[in-house]
């Protein structure tokens, strides 16, 4: 259950649009500023539960888009292929098999179950971001894109630098739908240079 008791503007807006969670508006804003989602295409959604990002992608990209969602928790009604497993157990071959080829975009909204200890939560989240980046470098075709949530902290700049190694353009964005007290931001890498 969420620690946030009262629904804010974004939560109410998501509910009114039949979307599972407010996080959808983060991806929508990212896509408005840096177009990533197109008709068709293949998308890997790491940490997909409750499915908002993929539901939105399905609406934008259409029925021909291939979606693969990964999460350690069940995700009922996922609008594509869902695998309940840890990203640590996901292999590039599994992704290609389920998507019918390499993803055009690798998305990660992964976060650990937070403990309330700022540094520990940061380090655990960065470890997940590093796994997502590794998958992206193993899977994306040249020109592909990567979107990743990051908890700000001492290791965040090094992670951003690691993303820059692989992409022509790297932007940092804190979408408006992010809670004001949240330390999260998103890194968007476009123009993957190839492994």
Q: How far apart are CA 1 and CA 97, in angstroms?
A: 34
Per annotation, catalytic residue among 13, 33, 149, 176:
149
98-137 burial string, b = 16+ CB within 10 Å, else e? bbeebbbbbbbbbbbeeeeeeeebbebbbebbebbbebbb
Q: How far apart are CA 22 and CA 100, in angstroms?
A: 30
Strand partners, 84: 71
Hey, CA dihedral for 81, 103, 169, 126, is it positive or negative?
positive
Q: Is 33 designated active site?
A: no
Report the chain's C-alpha Rg in angstroms: 16
**CB-based contact 97:6 (threshold 8 Å):** no
For the annotated catalytic residues, the residue numbers are 149
């Amino acid at each position: 259950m969420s620690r946030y008791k009262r629904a804010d503007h974004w939560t109410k807006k998501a509910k009114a649009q039949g979307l599972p969670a407010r996080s959808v508006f983060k991806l929508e804003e990212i896509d408005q500023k840096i177009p990533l989602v197109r008709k068709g295409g293949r998308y890997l959604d790491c940490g997909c539960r409750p499915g908002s990002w993929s539901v939105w992608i399905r609406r934008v990209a259409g029925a021909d888009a291939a979606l693969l969602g990964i999460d350690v928790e069940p995700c009922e009604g996922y609008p594509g292929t869902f695998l309940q497993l840890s990203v640590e157990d996901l292999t590039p071959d599994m992704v290609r098999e389920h998507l019918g080829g390499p993803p055009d975009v690798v998305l990660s909204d992964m976060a650990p179950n937070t403990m309330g200890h700022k540094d520990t939560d940061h380090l655990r989240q960065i470890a997940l971001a590093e796994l997502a980046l590794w998958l992206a470098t193993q899977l994306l075709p040249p020109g592909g894109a990567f979107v990743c949530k990051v908890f700000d902290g001492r290791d965040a700049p090094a992670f951003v630098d690691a993303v820059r190694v692989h992409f022509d353009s790297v932007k940092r964005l804190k979408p408006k739908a992010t809670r004001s007290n949240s330390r999260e931001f998103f890194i968007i890498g476009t123009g993957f240079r190839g492994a």
